[in-house]
Amino acid sequence: MNLLFQSRYYTSYQSDRDRKFLFDFGHKTIELSFCQLLAFRQNVHKMNLEAHFTGDNKHGIEILVLCNKEHIFILDTHQVVDLKEFMKGTFAMLELNSLVV
Amino acid sequence: MKDLVRQKLGIHVEIMDLLNEQIKKEAHSSSIYLAMASWCDHNGLDYSAAFFYEQAEEEREHMMKIFKFINDNGGTAYSPEVTGINHDFDSLEEIFETALDQEISITKSIHNIVFRCRKVQDLTTEVFLQWFVQEQMEEEQTIRRALELFDLMGTEGLGLKLLDERIPGIRK
């Protein structure tokens, strides 16, 4: 297993043998195919961080459902901020790997 | 480490995002033309209505082309939401002016993706988009021809009705 990126709350790995990606949320590790990874990325992209501060999402909670509803996560503002940076970092590392391979 | 992303996805992930944005724009365009067709229909401008119904279909076809391209190359295409469509127009001339502005906006968007493809070296998508670059040039030419009719004929008296009858001729 190859470490891709690590942030405050999350860690991502790529498994060459299984051709899958693993995401460690601290209390839980999930396995994703590439297609599921793209869906995960889209879900994170859609999270509106501004709404946490403007009052539209005054509780500052995001519900993240992944892998065709197999996993559910409830995140607070800090975790969402970190998750957005984490996703950017993971894909930056994947792109870097594409350049060197 | 294996390049799993490249194995699964034939286009650049950033370009996939831009193409998904383009899908939204094409769907939005299609709905705008449908609104225009409806206005023309209510105002007895049958040939202009038929033109815009056809335009609405064409924009949807453009959207589907991009949609399938993304999925065929291992990406994920997203079905777009369409909101905020204007149904109030002052005149047929305003409609065609709005249509031209809409086409110019789509052209700029396509060109922007092509430039981005060059920057990230996504030749696959750049070649795919060449068809759209050509198509947008033709779309702008068609709408421009309609606006020229307004300059030549005016809309006083029977002018508007006669102009409407010439609309089918703007497609070459």
Residue A15 lies in domain: 2-100
Domain count, chain B: 1
Q: How far apart are CA B45 and CA B38, in angstroms?
A: 10
Q: Is the pTM of this model over 0.95?
A: no
Select the residue from A32, A37, A44 to test the B interface by mutation, using most B Cβ atoms within 10 A. A37
CA-based R_g, chain B, Å: 19
Q: What is the per-residue pLDDT for B149? A: 92
Facing residues of B15 across strands?
none
A94 at interface of B, judged by CB pairs closer than 8 A: yes
Do the beta carbons of residue B112 and residue B119 sit within 8 Å?
no
Q: B 90-149 residues with CB below 8 A of A?
A: none
Enumerate the residues of chain A whose CB falls inside 8 A of the CB of residue B2. 14, 16, 19, 101
Q: Do A97 and B1 touch (CB under 8 A)?
A: yes
Q: A 51-80 residues with CB below 8 A of B?
A: none
Q: What is the per-residue pLDDT for B133? A: 98
Q: Following DSSP, what letter does each residue of B115-163 receive, concatenated?
A: HHHHHHT-HHHHHHHHHHHHHHHHHHHHHHHHHHHHHHH-STTTHHHHH
Q: What is the per-residue pLDDT for B158? A: 87
Q: Which helix (H) or strand (E) holds A6?
A: strand A2-6
The chain-wide mean pLDDT, for chain A, equals 93
Q: What is the per-residue pLDDT for B171? A: 87
Nearest beta carbon to residue A98 from set B5, B16, B76? B5
Q: What is the pLDDT of residues A51-98, one digit of tens each?
A: 988 888 888 899 999 888 889 999 999 999 999 999 999 999 999 999
Indicate if the pLDDT at residue A2 is higher than 80: yes
Enumerate the residues of chain B whose CB falls inside 8 A of the CB of residue A91. 13
Q: Following DSSP, what letter does each residue of A83-96 receive, concatenated?
A: HHHHHHHHHHHHHH
Contacts A–B by Cβ distance under 8 A:
42
Q: Do B6 and A101 touch (CB under 8 A)?
A: yes
Encoded tokens for B114: 């092509």
Nearest beta carbon to residue A2 from set B1, B7, B9? B1
pLDDT in tens, chain B (172 residues): 899 999 999 999 999 999 999 999 999 999 999 999 999 999 999 999 999 999 999 999 999 999 999 999 999 999 999 999 999 999 999 999 999 999 999 999 999 999 999 999 999 999 999 999 999 999 999 999 999 999 988 888 888 999 999 999 998 7
Q: How far apart are CA B26 and CA B30, in angstroms?
A: 6
Do the beta carbons of residue A4 and residue B3 sit within 8 Å?
no
Q: What 8-state DSSP symbol labels residue B80? A: P
CATH number at residue B23: 1.20.1260.10
Q: Do A34 and B1 touch (CB under 8 A)?
A: no
CA-based R_g, chain A, Å: 14
Residue B120 lies in domain: 4-170
Domain count, chain A: 1
Q: Where are the alpha helices (DSSP H) in chain B?
A: 4-8, 13-42, 46-72, 92-120, 123-153, 159-166
Q: What is the per-residue pLDDT for A67? A: 84
Q: What is the per-residue pLDDT for A40? A: 94
